[in-house]
Structure 1
Amino acid sequence: MKKIKIQPLLVSLLSCQAALAEIQLPKLLSEGAILQRNQPVKLWGKSDTTEEVKILLNQQVIATTLASNGSWQYRMKAQTAGGPHCLTFEASNKLEICNIYFGDLWLASGQSNMDLTVSRIKYYFPGEFSKINFPQIRQFSVSKGQSFDGPMDEINGGSWMPAQPSYIDEFSAVAYFFAKNIHRLENVPVGIVKNAVGGSKAQGWISNEALRNFPDDYKQAELLADDKYLQDIKKADEKKIKDWYRDLNKRDAGLDKKRTILGKTSQLWYEPLLDDSDWQEISLPQLWENNELSSFKGIIWLRKTIRLSSSAIGQAAILRLGNIVDADTVYINGKRVGSTSYKYPPRRYLVDSSILQEGDNVITVRLQVNSGNGGFVPEKPYWLQIRKNRIKLSGEWKYKIGAYTEPMPEKKFLEHLAPTGYYNAMQAPLKNLKFKGVLWYQGESNVGSPDSYANLMGVLINNWRELFNQPNLPFLNVQLANFLEPSTRPQESQWAEIRQAQLETLNIPSTALIVTIDVGEWNDIHPIDKRTVGNRLALAAQNLVYNKLDVIHSGPIFKCYQRDENTITLHFNHVGEGLMAGEQGQVNHIAIKAGDSEYHWQVGQLTQNNTVEISNVDNSGPLSIRYGWADNPETANLYNTEGLPASPFQSSEECN
């Protein structure tokens, strides 16, 4: 028989073909995954050739399926809670993933308040995280990305992480507190798929097709689908921002040594021996709204000198500088200790043990104001902590302008506000998963256009239920917290309008509203108390999802009002074991408009029938009633006895 000699090139080609033929698993099906219990679960992957894929669960064959047209899938029968399990996939190659558990899988989505991690809040909950060990609470954080040319099959990245010290910092803080409750109450593994992006609008999480009823968003999505158009915009944006930074930094006198040599000093402004006798004084913290810096844009340098005893030598420290608007770089004794590029994160900088010294220590802040009012946010922590000793940093500082500039140019493409991009790149690739429910915390970025928000949320919820083929998928919606300075008069409020739209989502079946009007902070769009939010989400899940109907999961929800001469009575659902309010049952932050008049404050009084009675009301015409209707209704005080706050509302609904 004639022997056939295979040439090296052919061997190489065959090897490449074999490599290409290997089956692949999606990132979601990886080591440590938690899959939904008590429901059939889809297993899926890719292959570049037609071949059989054998699937084994704990070394037992459960199926053989055919890979064709580049992909394969198998619908595994429902599994009870527990683990660990191993899944093996055999074709031309063999893949095995272990430490798999079946439990309850929750999708945690929205914008920054859902995305905000444990690392940001852990210092406010001492003892909660230092020895944390919940190996059966796990999070998969979907890598952020956008696509405007249709839904993607695979996410950009991510991995499963357990709630243990090495990984807990990356957990969504809200989702962690929620999962901890559910894990304890249901005694099952709990998985969180965190799919959230700071600043994102609801439109970004809706499919292009579902946006057809919103013409402006649909038109924008169609434009962004033109990749050349999008890339041209991005390049133009990048150039003008880069030019703005380069020009600003070039003109900063505090960093320009050549320029300062010609003046009074040749020192850079963060050097500790700098002569700052000609610097002006300013009291901090404050935002520059009503002073000589109110219109300032550019670089401003601030310095404060503190005296330390010899005990500070060789000690590490923690520097807290509250929140700073917009960006900062901080030095102590001429050495850089930290920087933050945007206004929202709390400033918490670790100071190396080699930096502090006996006697004078100079703290210098190079503050960059991009647009709006800059400054140090009031009522935040400003101190240097050395062991248990805190040195107060509020009070008198010195400042000097490093450079003036025009406001930072606006981008034409603001990715976090763009429609459909996050749905395509981050949401659509999850379509093969089954979820126990959705945790949704979003709305801040839609405050500027509240009129369409209720419709948007209805479309989003239905869109997701269709994507996952779960028509009754529970949707737990966190209402926006109180924020901004309170008003002493009835006011129009777009924040209140968004809360009203969120309240109206309760008209959609299998939804719940988590009211957080009492956990916000006037000076921070990202309130620290994520534990209360997570706990209240867990209450809603117990009632709505786990069928524990005796669990009171909601505060009072307005039902209707009843007239009686010059008195009206407000009726509520979800009163629990009863209503409670302030001293002697007085209910505050009620405003009523009669006919075409303006809204006026009224005081309500709790009754024995768990209603709120309001006297001296002009009942001659139509009434519009508001409760908690403000950006920050700090005096709103209606709760049920379970401690859950009433939702703000505006209504003209009269009882039949």
Structure 2
Amino acid sequence: MKFLSLNITCLLVVLHYTLSLGQVRLPRLISDGMVIQRDVEVKVWGWAAAREVVTVRFKGKNYTTKTSAEGKWQVTLVPSPAGGPYDLDVEASNHITVKNILVGDVWVCSGQSNMALPMERVKERYPDVIAQASNPFIRHFFLSTQYNFKQPQDDIPSGSWEAATPASVLKFSATAYFFAKTLYEKYHIPVGLLNASVGGSPAEAWLSAEALKTFPEAWKESQRFSNDRVIDSIITAERLRNTRWYNSLRRADEGYKGEIPWFDVNYIPSGWSVMNIPGYWRDYGLAIHGVVWFRKEVNIPASITGKPARLFLGCIVDSDSVYINGIFAGSIGYRYPPRRYELPAGLLKPGKNTIVIRVINSSGKGGFVKDKNYKIVSGKESVDLQGAWQYKVGAIADSLPPTTFIQYKAGGLFNAMIAPLVHYPIKGVIWYQGESNIGIPGQYQALFSSLITDWRKQWKQGNFPFLYVQLANYSLDATAESGWPALREAQRKTLSVPNTGMAVTIDIGEWNDLHPLNKEDVGKRLALLAEKWAYHEKNIVYTGPLYQSMKIKKNKISLTFTNTGSGLTAKGGDALKQFMIAGSDKQFVPAQAIIQGNRVTVWSESVTSPVAVRYAWANDPKGANLYNKEGLPASPFKTDD
């Protein structure tokens, strides 16, 4: 009997395993709440047992197919107009119902951190927008960061469709949400956002293997990282190096060595110096890496105590740990996020309170970024924290070599995050990227143009609209000789690729922040481009003036532009600024410029035989004010090669 029972058990296990192999399965994109592209054929695909019959039902129509020997299947739905919600049924050895499907317009939202940046990061700027973000017809699918250097993936490991609500919208890409919101308010067509963006990623990480072969160095890199042992050895070595660096710093830190640590409420400071915050400690003669402690006593009014408050500490280079009255209040481990710490009721007390910040800097200048918020806020009351702080060095260390971000290597993000999407029909792409390529601006036009062509080839949908953001103004830690202006020029020249549009943002960045908060205007300017290139609106002004040609007239140069709208203007009524002119020596000097009809005439008394003009050719071209009368800024440009 025991033998028979064992055989039956084994049979049941085998039967269960066999049946599980036959279970029909869908890719993660095809799931509850999805948005599918209107007015085109839509593929529905998945996996089941080999040679199994699969039936798909959608909007009263049946679609039947049989899986391949590998267990793959696919059907093609006939085009549908915008609408919904609908259900989709898949029948094989099991039954799946995909619920609450909308038919509308699907946009891939990709690039690096300025596309990835979520609404949560801009919630102080847009509280009313977030509070009113209840729209079941705007939906977002977030792809977590994944990489693969061996082959394109056919699915993604996680993610789900979410409709916009005040809670869920905090996870939406801010740029993409404002883009979708603007389009929905105009067309009332459901919008689906596929957010495949990774902070810090260079363009080459998003190219397929086929496209990478045009760029030998990038192709070589992708092949190197297809070896798991290479990746494992780098990760292991750098993890060990970083652990040793931080542990050594902790052991050497004088702030922890005494009987009472420097953050403790009972610690009495001795031998501390004074520094004005915000600012960098190198400006005070501390050309060091390591740990510097900061301390400030502030008076808190009784009206703020007894209830939750928020501590704003701008941005800190590189990482910080904060203590209020000896109690740990929060920590952020890298430089870019804004410091916004939630303080529970009871942590602050009436009268004197002590704030201590332990700052670790591993490279570059350590300290506090200027022109940011440094304050405690509760309701409508606030306490300013700028000004004199005490400081003392805790430990000094050698700079920490940069970490290798494997996901940034060529081809890895395409295989893992774009390849799984290419069977899913889309309306187009919005793209915000380039900051990570400023070191090679001369290659960017070729890289970016290849990326656009490559993605269109992968989707097999012709020249769908590819709309992108030109880099905003920014100058923190960037020299005058950096690649920012040249990268913007490469982006401008990429407009030669058919059915592309560029949103100019040279006027809405922040000199001290790689991640400017004004994502509303970015989204709206992308939406204007979509109205032109995706919705084929006529007689709209969809971008600012774009340089077209020049003509030398004695000691002056006359410039012509496209997209002048109802006319060129100098915003603010001032004289045109940020124009420069050069002779044959290519030494550019500030120039005078005036608008004459739809032309701009440029000259300088010091250049008698001009050959070239540049406009807004700087990292942060303050005062650049050439616009069209519709309020859209001119793109930076140069006339020389």
The normalised TM-score by structure 2 is: 0.96
For residues 207-236 of structure 1, what are the alpha-carbon distances to aligned partners after superposition, in whole Å with 9 as ceiling and x for unaligned? 122111211111111111111122112211
How far apart, CA to CA, are the structure 1 residues paired with 2:401 and 2:557?
52
8 Å CA contact 1:54–1:89 kept in 2: the answer is: yes
State the 1:359 CA deviation: 2.0
Corresponding residue SS for 1:588: coil
8 Å CA contact 2:156–2:417 kept in 1: the answer is: yes
Q: How does 1:221-240 map to 2 (within 5 A)?
A: 221-240=222-241
How far apart, CA to CA, are the structure 1 residues paired with 2:228 and 2:503?
39
8 Å CA contact 1:566–1:618 kept in 2: the answer is: no
Q: How does 1:73-92 map to 2 (within 5 A)?
A: 73-92=74-93
Name the residue aligned to 2:458: 467
For residues 163-202 of structure 1, what are the alpha-carbon distances to aligned partners after superposition, in whole Å with 9 as ceiling and x for unaligned? 1022111000000000001111111100000000000000
The alignment status of 1:386 with 2:374, answered yes or no, reads no
Name the residue aligned to 1:251: 252
For residues 434-484 of structure 1, what are the alpha-carbon distances to aligned partners after superposition, in whole Å with 9 as ceiling and x for unaligned? 111100000000001111000001110011001110221110010000001
8 Å CA contact 1:474–1:510 kept in 2: the answer is: yes
How far apart, CA to CA, are the structure 1 residues paired with 2:564 and 2:283?
45
- 1:404 and 1:428, CA in 2 relative to 1: closer, same or farther beyond 3 A? same
Which of 502, 515, 527 does residue 538 from structure 1 map onto? 527
Corresponding residue SS for 2:336: coil
Q: How does 1:545-560 map to 2 (within 5 A)?
A: 545-560=534-549
State the 1:617 CA deviation: 6.4
Name the residue aligned to 1:520: 509
Which of 466, 480, 484 does residue 471 from structure 2 map onto? 480
- 1:635 and 1:77, CA in 2 relative to 1: closer, same or farther beyond 3 A? same
How far apart, CA to CA, are the structure 1 residues paired with 2:37 and 2:586?
54
State the 1:272 CA deviation: 1.7
Give the share of equivalent positions with the same residue, in percent.
39
Corresponding residue SS for 2:43: strand
Name the residue aligned to 1:567: 556
State the 1:583 CA deviation: 5.9
Which of 398, 401, 414 does residue 405 from structure 2 map onto? 414
8 Å CA contact 2:556–2:610 kept in 1: the answer is: no
8 Å CA contact 1:481–1:516 kept in 2: the answer is: yes
- 1:333 and 1:97, CA in 2 relative to 1: closer, same or farther beyond 3 A? same
- 1:647 and 1:312, CA in 2 relative to 1: closer, same or farther beyond 3 A? closer
Name the residue aligned to 2:199: 198
The alignment status of 1:66 with 2:60, answered yes or no, reads no
How far apart, CA to CA, are the structure 2 residues paired with 1:311 and 1:458?
58
272-281 vs 108-117, which deviates more? Answer: 272-281
For residues 404-457 of structure 1, what are the alpha-carbon distances to aligned partners after superposition, in whole Å with 9 as ceiling and x for unaligned? 11111333x332431110001101111111111100000000001111000001
The alignment status of 1:372 with 2:364, answered yes or no, reads yes
Q: How does 1:292-307 map to 2 (within 5 A)?
A: 292-293=285-286, 295-307=287-299
8 Å CA contact 1:486–1:630 kept in 2: the answer is: no
Q: How does 1:171-320 map to 2 (within 5 A)?
A: 171-255=172-256, 259-260=257-258, 266-293=259-286, 295-320=287-312
Corresponding residue SS for 2:281: coil
Name the residue aligned to 1:158: 159
User: Match for 1:65: what amino acid?
Assistant: T
State the 1:610 CA deviation: 1.7
Q: How many residues align?
A: 636
User: Match for 1:532: what amino acid?
Assistant: D
How far apart, CA to CA, are the structure 1 residues paired with 2:372 and 2:574?
33
- 1:80 and 1:565, CA in 2 relative to 1: closer, same or farther beyond 3 A? same
Mark the runs of 5 or more structure 1 residues left unpaired by the alignment: 261-265
- 1:523 and 1:416, CA in 2 relative to 1: closer, same or farther beyond 3 A? farther
Corresponding residue SS for 1:114: helix
Corresponding residue SS for 2:579: strand
8 Å CA contact 2:49–2:71 kept in 1: the answer is: yes
The alignment status of 1:610 with 2:603, answered yes or no, reads no
Measured on the aligned residues, the alpha-carbon RMSD in Å equals: 1.8
State the 1:312 CA deviation: 3.5
State the 1:585 CA deviation: 5.9
User: Match for 1:524: what amino acid?
Assistant: D
Corresponding residue SS for 1:587: coil
How far apart, CA to CA, are the structure 2 residues paired with 1:313 and 1:492?
49
How far apart, CA to CA, are the structure 2 residues paired with 1:423 and 1:365?
40
8 Å CA contact 2:320–2:333 kept in 1: the answer is: yes
The normalised TM-score by structure 1 is: 0.94
8 Å CA contact 2:141–2:194 kept in 1: the answer is: yes
State the 1:485 CA deviation: 5.6
8 Å CA contact 1:310–1:358 kept in 2: the answer is: yes
8 Å CA contact 1:144–1:156 kept in 2: the answer is: no
